[in-house]
Amino acid sequence: MPCMRLKEIGEFELIERMARIFQQDGAAVANAAAAFSRLVVGIGDDAAVWRESSSQYTMSTTDAMVEGVHFTCATTDWYDLGWKAMASNISDIAGMGGIPRYALVVLGASGELEVTNVLDLCRGMADLAGRFGAAIIGGDTISSPLTMVSITVLGEAVRGQDRGGAPPILRRSAACPGDWIAVTGRLGSSAGGLELLLKGSGRVDAQFAPLAEAHRRPVPRVEEGQLLVSAGVRCGMDLSDGLIGDLTRICRASGVSALVEVDKLPVDPLLREAFGERAVELALSGGEDYELLCAAPAEILSEAQLLLHRAGVDLTVVGTIVDRDLERAPVMLCEADGQLRMPTRKGWEHFTSNGDSARD
């Protein structure tokens, strides 16, 4: 049998095969039956969720960054790196509508790394975690030729919000045809900020500083996720890999398709000023927005819009969930003139290069 390499099967296929071993294979899984019986959400969502008691749910997520892939030591601002590493994990808790409580940090580094860099990294992590009331309580330090950071965040679901037996969380698999699709804040700013930072070798015109800031120090939508849950929303996730890529995940998990109305996308006027027509492309495919993406019936979304508006945050309806259409890509774009268009990039997938089409 010829040997098959990871790049040939890609991340989604790999995760599916791993999940089969972890969740379905033989004796090991049978032994863990009690633990699995309390599991509400397993592999394939922003975080795993399990029931502690009738009204209490714990959630946990983990995420890693490696030098040379996710950052470069030469140009890294260590404080920002720590901030972003923690933000991406806490954003996964936000994407489940949860409350972050505790974090564990693994740091891998060579003995040559400067101590001040590591401590700046820690300050960035601590400041972001503290902003949301999460305590960093443990971890591991290991020797590693490449610098790496792996973070685990534990959180809990908001209590007393069970509706008709549905746990008070946002999950990817709960979208239904007819649901409206909405996003918090504005899209594409982080990707735009990154482009400007790269073009200016780390410097950005003062005018466009907010875009660079969106890239360097994203602020996860923690309270907003909880408000979505309170309004009754049950389908959602955080936007880390771009709207099209992440909405594709919701479609796959829910067995539905989605129509996105391109002219409704919330785009920062600064992004339009800096990128013109390309702003829409960044809003559709740019990663690391750390906004929330959700789907719910119109009346629930209206309620959610009201709650978020009171908290000073926009929740913008950008499309509709429709029946699965196997003939088309799971996510279709609807232009202002009513023309349907297939997206050309589907967001980041590890191991393989990005495909040209979101067809699955």
Region 22-81 residues binding its own copies, contact defined as CB under 8 A = 22-23, 25, 27-32, 34-36, 39, 42-43, 45, 47-48, 50, 52, 56, 58, 60-66, 68-70
Count the neighbouring beta carbons within 10 Å of the beta carbon of residue 27: 7
Q: Under 8 Å CB-to-CB from 191, ≥6 apart: which residues?
A: 215, 242, 282, 285, 286, 287, 288, 289
Among 16, 72, 135, 205, binds its own copies (CB under 8 A): 135
CB nearer to its own copies: pick between 12 and 264:
12
CB nearer to its own copies: pick between 118 and 313:
118
Provide the token pair at 86: 């923690």
- 173 makes contact with its own copies (CB under 8 A): no
Which of these ranges, 129-137, 187-195, 231-239, 277-285, lies near its own copies under the rule CB under 8 A? 129-137
Q: What is the nearest approach in angstroms of its own copies to the Cβ of residue 216?
A: 18
Count the neighbouring beta carbons within 10 Å of the beta carbon of residue 155: 28
DSSP-derived letter for residue 358 is -
Per-position DSSP letters for 296-344, written without gaps between them? E-HHHHHHHHHHHHHTT--EEEEEEEEE--TTS-SEEEE-TTS-EE--S
Per-position DSSP letters for 224-267, written without gaps between them? HHHHHHHHT--EEEEESS-HHHHHHHHHHHHTEEEEEEGGG---
Count the neighbouring beta carbons within 10 Å of the beta carbon of residue 161: 18
154 closest CA partner among 107, 99, 229: 99
Strands 315-323 and 180-184: antiparallel
Among 85, 87, 93, 134, binds its own copies (CB under 8 A): 134
CB nearer to its own copies: pick between 43 and 311:
43
CB nearer to its own copies: pick between 75 and 110:
110
Considering only residues 258-277, where is the footprint of its own copies by CB under 8 A? none
- 198 makes contact with its own copies (CB under 8 A): no
Which of these ranges, 14-22, 224-232, 281-289, 318-326, lies near its own copies under the rule CB under 8 A? 14-22
Provide the token pair at 218: 């994203």
Most distant pair of Cα atoms in the chain: their distance: 60
Which of these ranges, 142-150, 171-179, 206-214, 235-243, lies near its own copies under the rule CB under 8 A? 142-150
Q: Under 8 Å CB-to-CB from 63, ≥6 apart: which residues?
A: 85, 88, 89, 92, 150, 151
CB nearer to its own copies: pick between 135 and 166:
135
Place of tokens 């495919």: 285
Considering only residues 305-324, where is the footprint of its own copies by CB under 8 A? none
Among 55, 72, 141, 207, binds its own copies (CB under 8 A): 141
Q: What is the nearest approach in angstroms of its own copies to the Cβ of residue 321?
A: 25
Considering only residues 148-167, where is the footprint of its own copies by CB under 8 A? 148, 150, 152, 154
Which of these ranges, 17-25, 219-227, 233-241, 311-319, lies near its own copies under the rule CB under 8 A? 17-25
CB nearer to its own copies: pick between 137 and 311:
137
Q: What is the nearest approach in angstroms of its own copies to the Cβ of residue 18?
A: 5
Which of these ranges, 96-104, 158-166, 205-213, 280-288, lies near its own copies under the rule CB under 8 A? 96-104
